[in-house]
Amino acid sequence: MRRLIACVLMAAMLAPLGGCWNYRGLDEIMIVMGSAIDKEQGSENYRITYEIIDLNKPVKAQGINTVIVSSEGKTKFEAARNAKKKVSNKLYFGHTQVFVISEEIARNEEIGGIIDFLLRDAETRETACLVVLRGKTAREIFETKSLSNIAVSNEIHDIISNDQKITSSTLRVPIYEIFNTLKSEGKALVLPAFHRVDNNGETVNEANGIAVFKEEKLAGFLTPEETKYFLIATNKTKGGILPIASEKSGHADAALEISKNKTKLSFTARGDKVKVKIKTETIVYLGEILKDINTTDLAKIAELQDIAEKKLEANIMSVIKKTQSEFGADIFGFGRMIRKKDFKLWNRLKDNWDEQFRSLKVEVRSDVKIVNTAYLMKT
């Protein structure tokens, strides 16, 4: 009897291990690599465009083959489902890397509605990126040429993922981080921005700074150059180039490559009056210098460091002032810092924080160390 019971229990335990209940073969699905969301011109309807891997064609020297499928609906969800009218297999979003929204949607609709739509689908990857495309429509992003012989969506994802290490001109913001920012206090949302540019006669996609949001709607953009100093101020840069003039006046004739950067935020308060302090510590390499300068001269290196420090301080302050005056959105997370360190103070400030931020006093101090000059010996 005991053996019979044991066999029944083993059979019951093994039954769920027989395979995946919702398994589908590659011949039964269409893998979506990227998606673009637009509002139809002159209509309240949405149009969603998908970049789909074409599994019917072999991957040759020209790279991955993709097809574009577009559908329309009164809501984003209906537009997504209506795509099935044009394809025989189920659309699969488990490998989707990038979701793109148009500048029009970003300006006129709350971004929280987009995130709600994306996260309600169980297949959506929370690590996927959301991108704002500057221009008329988001679907134009899939009409451009990929320079890397990969799907356009993959190329955009790779550009965003690697940019903070190379040029620091944009920022990767996964969907889960967008959700957390929208649901927390003291920090406004930013998203990577792209635009379409000419490259040797062909139209390609290019990272173009960041999109700044206030109250879940697009307020404006920071240029790639401004974004660099925003990333330094928020301790998110991992690389990039700092062009400087080797003398205190004149055009840039030297370039410093960022190796490491560490930024600390702090604040002081008198009553409800707050002053924020930003301290940056940046380690750089001398990557280029056009003038004949003795780079073994410690006094000259100290002078270059001083020039770089002054430029960092000035440019970080310039970005802060622009954000205060034009957007009134605390993208630096000053409010979040105050909330973490002094919750009682934050409770007094939070209801009027946007106005407080516009007039907030900020002090920036930068320390730059040149640790490698790649000195070339004369022979």
Q: Please indicate whether residue 376 or residue 287 has the higher confidence score (pLDDT).
A: 287
Weakest-pLDDT range from 70-74, 144-148, 308-312 = 144-148
Q: Please indicate whether residue 269 or residue 378 has the higher confidence score (pLDDT).
A: 269
Q: Please indicate whether residue 170 or residue 84 has the higher confidence score (pLDDT).
A: 170
Distances in Å between the alpha carbon of 192 and those of 10, 91, 107, 304?
Answer: 53, 26, 15, 32
| H-only helix segments in 17-66 | none
Q: What mean pLDDT do residues 247-254 have?
A: 78
The model's pLDDT over 77-119, given as tens digits with 9 standing for 90+, comes to: 999 999 888 887 888 888 899 999 999 999 999 999 999 999 9
Q: What mean pLDDT do residues 39-56 have?
A: 85
The model's pLDDT over 285-330, given as tens digits with 9 standing for 90+, comes to: 998 887 777 777 888 889 999 999 999 999 999 999 999 999 999 9
Instruction: Give the C-alpha separation, 109 to 118, whole Å.
Output: 15
Instruction: Give the C-alpha separation, 364 to 379, whole Å.
Output: 43
Exposure b/e, 303-327, CB count within 10 A at least 16 = b: ebbebbbebbbebbbebbebbbeeb
Structure token pair of residue 46: 């949405």
Please name each of the domains of the chain with its CATH number: 24-222 (no CATH), 224-379 (3.30.300.210)
pLDDT at res. 58:
59
| H-only helix segments in the chain | 2-14, 76-82, 103-108, 111-119, 152-166, 175-183, 224-233, 298-322, 334-341, 343-349, 353-358
Q: Is the pLDDT of residue 5 over 80?
A: no
In this prediction, residue 379 has a pLDDT band, given cuts at 50, 70 and 90, of: very low
Q: Is the pLDDT of residue 250 over 90?
A: no
- Mean pLDDT (the chain, rounded): 88
